[in-house]
Homo-oligomer: A and B are copies of this chain.
Amino acid sequence: MPHRAAIVGAGHTRFGALAEGPRALLRGAVEEAFSSIDRGVDRTAVGEVFLATLGFGGWQIGNSSTVLSEEVGVAGAPTTRVENACASGGFAIRAAVGALATGTADLVLVGGLEKMTDVTNARRRYWLGVSGDTEWERSAGLTFAGVYGLIASAYLDLHHLGREALAEVAVKNHENGSLNPNAHFQKRVERAQVLRAPRVADPLGLYDCCPVSDGAAALLLTRADLARRYTDTPVYIDGIGAGSDFLAVQERPDPTRFRATRRAADEAFRSADRSRTGISFLEVHDCFTIAELLALDDLGFTEPGAAAALTLSGATARTGRLPVNPDGGLKAKGHPIGATGVSQAYEVFRQLRRAAGARQVPGAETALTHNVGGAGATAAVTIFSAG
C-alpha cells in the first residue's frame, strides 16, 4: 500500500446561502487550511494551485484559478482550473496528485468553490443545467432532478422497492448534518415528513434533493515522503481512480448503474491495493437520495439493489458498520458544485485525525470519497488512510 500523496492541511467554510462572494469564500477556506498545518508553512512554498469550480458565481468565467492564487498570496505559482461539473473537486485532487508525481511542486493547494445564491435566477439555473447533456436532455427540458427522478423510477421498479430507502437516506444525512456546524441544513427530519413532502420529480420529493449552496473548501497536499515536515498526523491518499461515461443517460445500456463510478472504484482499490472490507467510512455523492443507493451498488459495497436494504438496516448510519456521509452529505451539508469533492476530502481529513467533533465516526482509520459529475458522466474515487 504505497502512499501516493498526503493531505497536511484542510479548510472549509460554512455551506449555505451566504453573504460572501467567491473571493471571500475561497480566502476563508484557504486561510483555515494554512492555519491547520501543525508546524506552520511559508505560503511561498506552494508550488502549484488547482481550482475546482463550475461557474465562479457567473463572475470570472475564464482564468478564475488566478483569482484564487492572488487572493491567498501565492500569485506566481502555476494555477489551473479543473472543471468536471459536480466532480470538479475530485478531479482537482487527482490533478494535484499528478502534479506532485511530476516533482515540480512539493506543496499543492486545491481550492473548490461555488457561489450559487445571490446571482440571478437565470444564472443559477444555467450553471446547474449546463452540467447535464445539452443535446438530448437539457434541450428537451429535462432538469437534473428530472434525470435522477427517471433513474430513481427505474431503480425502484427494477428492484421492487418503495420510497422508504430513499427517505432513509435523507433522514440519516439530515441527522449527520445536524452535528456538522458547516452544514447548510442542520436540522433532523422524520421519515414520514420526507415521504409526504411535495414531489419535485417523481419519485423524488423535496427532501430527496440536495440544496443549492454557496461554499468553499481547500486542501494542502504534499508528497507522502515529505508529509512529516508539516504534521505528525497527515492523512494519506493511497488510491485514486476515475472514469467517464456517455454524457446523456439514454446512451448507456443501464440507467440504474453508473459505469464511471464502477471504473473509478476498481482503479482506486487496485491502486490502493486494499479491499472494500478495509474501508472505515464513505463520503459518497448523494446529490439526490437515489444517488447514494447507486453509489453503494456501483462502488461495490452492495449487490445491485441491495443498497436499499443496507440503508434501511441502519448500517450506513454514523455509528453503523459502514457509515456513509457522516458530514451530512450533499443532501444536508449542501452542494456548492466545485467545492463538493474538496469538501469530501476535508471531512476525511477531520475524521481520520479524530477531529470531527460531534460527528466523529468511531474508530475511523480509512475512508473512501466518491464524487460524480453530471448524472454519472464522470466520477472520481479516492481512498485515504490515517497517518
Asked whether B95 lies within 8 Å of A63 as measured between CB atoms, the reply is no
A280 contacts chain B at the CB level, 8 A cutoff: no
Asked whether A78 lies within 8 Å of B242 as measured between CB atoms, the reply is yes
On chain B, the residues within 8 Å of A4 by CB distance are: 102
On chain B, the residues within 8 Å of A20 by CB distance are: none
Contact partner of A259 among B76, B81, B83, B263, CB < 8 A?
A: B76
Convert A97-134 into 0s and 1s, putting 1 for each residue whose CB lies closer than 8 angstroms to a CB of B: 11101111000000000000000000000110011111
Residue of B nearest to A138 (CB): B60
A284 contacts chain B at the CB level, 8 A cutoff: no
Contact partner of A244 among B69, B102, B126, B251, CB < 8 A?
A: B69
Asked whether B134 lies within 8 Å of A59 as measured between CB atoms, the reply is yes
A232 contacts chain B at the CB level, 8 A cutoff: no
Asked whether A104 lies within 8 Å of B267 as measured between CB atoms, the reply is yes
On chain B, the residues within 8 Å of A127 by CB distance are: 61-62
Contact partner of A76 among B49, B98, B102, B243, CB < 8 A?
A: B243
A77 contacts chain B at the CB level, 8 A cutoff: yes
Convert A238-254 into 0s and 1s, putting 1 for each residue whose CB lies closer than 8 angstroms to a CB of B: 00111111110001000
Supply 7 A–B pairs (Cβ within 8 Å), ascending by A: A62-B373, A63-B131, A63-B132, A76-B245, A78-B380, A80-B84, A101-B103
Give 5 nearest A-B pairs by CB, closest first: A98-B98, A78-B242, A62-B131, A61-B130, A62-B85
